[in-house]
Amino acid sequence: MTEDLNLYIRLVYFALEKEKNNYFDKQDLTASQGDILLYLGYLNKRNKEASQKDIEKHFRLTNPTVTGLLNRLEEKAFVERKKRPEDGRTNLIHLTDKSLAMLKRSKLHKDEIERKLFHNFDESEQKLFISQLKKLLENLRNEETQ
């Protein structure tokens, strides 16, 4: 049974990644650029700001990689770099109106995907499934710390 579990989790993951990549491709974004915008959107909703260094840490990417991603996002008018007022050496990465609109559409797309995923689930089954996924993740994380 464990082999089937691993297989099906991987297949669902790949299907979700394909959906995400297709969505971002239609927005003239790579998956990596889209992931950065999703991260910045998450922070934005919580009234938090991010520097390039924060992005590097969060995604475990090198400075040159993040610089390239941000340069392309800036060229496409999805982000703006602004100096941190109290420390002019640090750039804060800000979403533009274009990226905020894209993130709003992305939320609608995500809701549609979730609707598809849970098509034959009632509300209690959905909650149970999410709860069980969280337990699986917790079990794996606990394994890492032992």
Give dist(CA 134, CA 116) in Å, integer: 20
> Residue 145: pLDDT above 80?
no
Over residues 117-128, the pLDDT tens digits come to 999 999 999 999
List domains and CATH numbers for the chain.
Answer: 2-121 (1.10.10.10)
Comparing CA positions, the residue from 106, 63, 100, 103 lying closest to residue 80 is 100
Split at pLDDT 50, 70, 90, the class of 2 is: low
Give dist(CA 56, CA 90) in Å, integer: 13
Note the pLDDT of residue 57. Answer: 96
**The pair of three-digit structure tokens given for residue 82, joined into one six-digit string:** 């602004």
User: Could you tell me if 80 and 91 are in contact, meaning their C-beta atoms sit under 8 angstroms apart?
Assistant: no
Note the pLDDT of residue 84. Answer: 83
Comparing CA positions, the residue from 117, 126, 136 lying closest to residue 12 is 117
